[in-house]
Amino acid sequence: MPKKDRKPKAGSSGENWFVYIVHCADGSLYAGITKDVDRRCEQHNAGTASRYTRSRRPVKLVHQEIHSDQSSALKREAAIKAKSRKEKLTMIRQRKKPAKELRKFARLQDIPNIGPAVADDLRQLGITTPADLPGRDPFALYDDLCRITGQRHDPCLLDTFIAAVRYMEGAPKRPWWKYTAERKREMAARDSAK
């Protein structure tokens, strides 16, 4: 007897996933994941996407970030949901700031905190120019690098990724260790969500 055609597992196609946050009509925030942000927002506004947003329409997209696979997106979604409302709003505001310095940099090593070794790590992830960094999730980048290389890297590298992404998104120039507390909070939120 022939086997029935099975649908491919979500995320197996290698396409990107997105973590998104919508602002609901009642002022609340809802986080989710999808492969198509525009279509998902249309579903939320049509009342067919989730039970939570069905009675809180219309919704407005206020944040999105790209991930290379479903697993990474799910981990990030859980970490965002574990944040307080204030932390979520701060994160959204930081991402909305324009990257004023973006055009000044031609090479990854021109970004503060990025030396030759970290630039090579970023290239392994497909990030070849500073313009590739805004909107990327540094936690997903770190997870992807660990998976690609088959080893767990020093968490300070994650701090450096955070510093680079935030800077390219318009945050002030800061040394990488200024992001250690943020990294520890995020990792604790991920661990508690597991």
70-125 pLDDT, tens per residue? 887 888 888 888 888 888 887 787 665 554 444 467 789 999 999 999 999 998 88
Enumerate the CATH 3.40.1440.10 domain ranges in the chain, comma separated.
Answer: 17-83
Query: Does CATH place domain 17-83 in 3.40.1440.10?
Result: yes
What is the structure's pLDDT at 20?
A: 93
Please, which pLDDT band fits residue 59 given cuts at 50, 70 and 90? very high
Inform me whether the pLDDT recorded for 64 exceeds 80. yes
Mean pLDDT of the 145-155 span: 92
Q: What is the pLDDT of residue 104?
A: 62
Q: What is the pLDDT of residue 82?
A: 82
What residues contact residue 48 under an 8 Å CB cut-off, 6+ apart? 54
The CATH number corresponding to 102-193 among 1.20.1550, 3.30.200, 1.10.10, 1.10.150 equals 1.10.150
pLDDT given for residue 96 in this prediction: 58
Contacts 24+ apart (CB under 8 A), 91-95: 91/63, 92/21, 92/62, 92/63, 94/166, 94/169, 94/170, 94/171, 95/63, 95/65, 95/135, 95/169
pLDDT digits (tens, 9 = 90+) for 14-32: 478 888 999 999 999 999 9
* CATH 1.10.150 residue spans of the chain: 102-193
Rounded CA separation 33/135 (Å): 15
Q: Which two tokens stand for residue 42?
A: 């249309």
